[in-house]
């Protein structure tokens, strides 16, 4: 049996359904073996970078291992941005790269590159395997590292000859299962005591709350404390829930800022947030000033980074919240269940601008729709203005999102949860980077709506420079391009709109497709200043 076949048998044992990437000489042996393994489907993308973001999105929404593969040399280096993103988002992704034959190393072989040290800073583990007899065990070790503790990406480089070597048939190692990280009971008792005795406070949530929203709401109702979200956590708490006070941080809400800056809550309960720059409004020290701070996370490195934490709780968020709720009830807290109903009201007509376009979209798309948000000026409007009707509504990546990453995230999300409708909100700048992945969606019959806001410029750059330097370079703008004509050439249904009233039920009926993607091009140049909060002020402070 070829050594590379043992890897595929191991991945199949672990329930891996998809491998994202692009075939090439140094990994063709891997793809050849897939002919005989229909349980694992290759998703052939248009760019390796896109494949890396798809694998990460799939890992996020399937709650399982993502797998991504690329050739040696440039194929591998194209994966590095996605690996860095998976590291920031704590997503378990196995990155496999080809490598030149062992006996040609150092001889200037075609696409020769030592990828191992390049991946090391952006993964939990990176290794080059030069002995076919240990290839399977190294992959199994890498997967165990990816899934254990704080999940994250790993990398294994496989020389061509190592993949093709025949190995003695051996039993497959057991596919690892992540062990639950249970907080110390004494720590939870101390937290419960502090919360029980507190005069009041705020619950501050990050993206680590994914999968634990019901437990979070149970805790909030026990405490009757307001909930504030980071930009990454936008989408978990319904907009009109009485305890939801909005987003704090980049593009956040004044209601949240007032509580942090002027509110009398004496305790801050941080759940699933690393308290980074965009989450804290550029490390606003009012967040913790004169407050006791409790932080729950499965990553102990987030404690006491920038803010002093009085009581860190190391444990999985869902387990920690479950035990904490039980302990609070034991102390006599009962809380008051809050009756409420999500509303989907028609937005009033208004100017043709980004805010009204996004709100109009939500009038006609399903409440259960998930929006994958790309990187651009529209992102701040999404965070500030769009409504949350169902949990896990938005996929927003302000940590390490690259332009075009939202396009790939849409595909990964749809493959992980096929029954959930998905809409990608992107811009023309992002589309020019990774827009050809709409063809990947077409080839795999993925019914995703791609909304492209076409303003013929790099909008966030334009506004940022204008605000910071009172001028913007002409090269930030470009010749207008008719993206609907491009879509027509690609054989993808599309509609181009230039007025707000053109966004209506008939438009969405014409775009609805059960067999593949469609594109809604919004031709719109919005000269209003995006609601970026103090971001520009923070950048402008340098050099002063």
Per-residue pLDDT, 185? 97
139 plus 209 within the same structural domain:
no
pTM of this prediction exceeds 0.85: yes
d(CA 136, CA 115): 19
Per-residue pLDDT tens over the stretch 361-407: 999 999 999 999 999 889 999 999 999 999 899 999 987 878 899 99
User: Residue 498 pLDDT more than 60?
Assistant: yes
CB-based contacts of 492: which residues, under 8 Å, 6+ apart? 438, 439, 442, 516, 517, 518, 519
Write out the residue range of the structural domain in which residue 473 sits.
Answer: 354-535
490 plus 358 within the same structural domain:
yes
244 plus 140 within the same structural domain:
no
Evaluate whether residue 515 is within a structural domain: yes
User: Residue 515 pLDDT more than 80?
Assistant: yes
CATH of residue 83's domain is: 3.40.50.970
What share of the chain in percent tops pLDDT 90? 80
Domain boundary among 164, 197, 220: 164
d(CA 256, CA 258): 5
378 plus 457 within the same structural domain:
yes
140 plus 190 within the same structural domain:
no
Per-residue pLDDT, 542? 46
Closest among 6, 24, 168, 167 to 100, alpha carbons compared: 24
> How many residues can be counted in the chain?
544
SS3 159: strand
Other C-beta atoms lying within 10 Å of the C-beta of residue 452: 27
Evaluate whether residue 80 is within a structural domain: yes
pLDDT band for 461, please (50, 70, 90 cuts): low
270 plus 415 within the same structural domain:
no
21 plus 152 within the same structural domain:
yes
If one counts the domains in the chain, the total is 3
The string of DSSP letters for 291-336 reads SEEEEEES-GGGTTSSS--SEEEES-HHHHHHHHHHHHHHTT----
137 plus 241 within the same structural domain:
no
8 plus 143 within the same structural domain:
yes
13 plus 149 within the same structural domain:
yes
Evaluate whether residue 342 is within a structural domain: no
380 plus 300 within the same structural domain:
no
Contact by Cβ (8 Å): 17, 63? no
Per-residue pLDDT, 242? 94
d(CA 148, CA 181): 10
Evaluate whether residue 60 is within a structural domain: yes
Let me know the angle formed at the C-alpha of 316 by 310 and 322, rounded to the nearest 5 degrees.
90
d(CA 225, CA 244): 9
pLDDT band for 336, please (50, 70, 90 cuts): confident
Per-residue pLDDT tens over the stretch 139-182: 999 999 999 999 999 999 999 999 999 998 778 999 999 999 99
525 plus 398 within the same structural domain:
yes
Evaluate whether residue 125 is within a structural domain: yes
What share of the chain in percent tops pLDDT 70? 92
d(CA 69, CA 32): 13
Evaluate whether residue 223 is within a structural domain: yes
């Amino acid at each position: 049996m070829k050594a590379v076949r043992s890897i595929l048998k191991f991945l199949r044992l672990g329930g891996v359904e998809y491998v994202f990437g692009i075939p090439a000489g140094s990994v063709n042996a891997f793809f050849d073996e897939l002919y005989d393994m229909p349980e694992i489907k290759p998703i052939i993308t248009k760019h390796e970078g896109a494949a890396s973001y798809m694998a990460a999105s799939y890992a996020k929404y399937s709650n399982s291992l993502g797998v991504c593969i690329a050739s040696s040399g440039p194929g591998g280096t194209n994966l590095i941005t996605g690996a860095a993103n998976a590291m920031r988002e704590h997503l378990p992704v196995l990155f496999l790269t080809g490598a030149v034959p062992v006996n040609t190393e150092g001889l200037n072989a075609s696409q020769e590159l030592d990828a191992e040290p390049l991946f090391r800073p952006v993964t939990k583990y990176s290794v080059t395997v030069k002995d076919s007899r240990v290839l399977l065990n190294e992959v199994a070790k890498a997967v165990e590292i990816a899934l254990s503790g704080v999940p994250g990406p790993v990398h294994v480089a496989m020389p061509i000859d190592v993949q093709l070597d025949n190995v003695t048939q051996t039993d497959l190692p057991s596919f690892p299962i992540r062990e639950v990280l249970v907080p110390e009971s004494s720590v939870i008792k101390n937290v419960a005591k502090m919360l029980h005795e507190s005069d009041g406070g705020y619950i501050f949530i990050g993206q680590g709350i994914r999968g634990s929203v019901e437990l979070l709401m149970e805790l909030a109702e026990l405490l009757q404390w307001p909930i504030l979200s980071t930009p990454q956590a936008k989408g978990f708490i319904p907009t009109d829930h009485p305890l939801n006070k909005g987003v704090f941080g980049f593009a956040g809400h004044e209601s949240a800022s007032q509580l942090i800056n002027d509110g009398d809550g004496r305790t801050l309960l941080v759940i699933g947030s690393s308290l980074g720059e965009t989450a804290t409004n550029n490390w606003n020290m009012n967040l913790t000033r004169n407050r006791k701070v409790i932080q729950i996370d499965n990553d102990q490195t987030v404690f006491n980074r920038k803010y002093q934490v009085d009581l860190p709780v190391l444990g999985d968020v869902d387990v920690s919240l479950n035990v904490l709720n039980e302990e609070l009830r034991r102390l006599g807290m009962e809380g008051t269940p809050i009756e409420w109903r999500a509303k989907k009201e028609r937005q009033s007509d208004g100017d043709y601008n980004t805010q009204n376009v996004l709100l109009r979209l939500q009038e006609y798309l399903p409440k259960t729709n998930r929006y994958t948000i790309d990187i651009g000026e529209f992102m701040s409007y999404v965070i500030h203005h769009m409504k949350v009707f169902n949990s896990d509504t938005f996929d927003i990546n302000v940590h390490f999102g690259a332009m075009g990453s939202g396009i790939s995230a849409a595909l990964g999300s749809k493959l992980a949860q096929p029954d959930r409708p998905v809409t990608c909100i992107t811009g023309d700048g992002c589309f020019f980077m990774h827009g050809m992945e709409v063809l990947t969606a077409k080839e795999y019959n993925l019914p995703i709506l791609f909304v492209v806001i076409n303003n013929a410029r790099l909008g966030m750059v334009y506004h940022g420079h204008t605000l910071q330097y009172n001028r913007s370079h002409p090269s930030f703008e470009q010749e207008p391009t008719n993206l609907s004509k491009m879509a027509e050439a690609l054989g993808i249904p599309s509609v181009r709109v230039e007025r707000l009233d053109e966004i209506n039920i008939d438009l969405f009926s014409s775009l609805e497709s059960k067999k593949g993607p469609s594109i809604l091009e919004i031709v719109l140049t919005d000269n209003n200043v995006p609601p970026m909060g103090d971001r520009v002020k923070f950048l402008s402070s340098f050099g002063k």
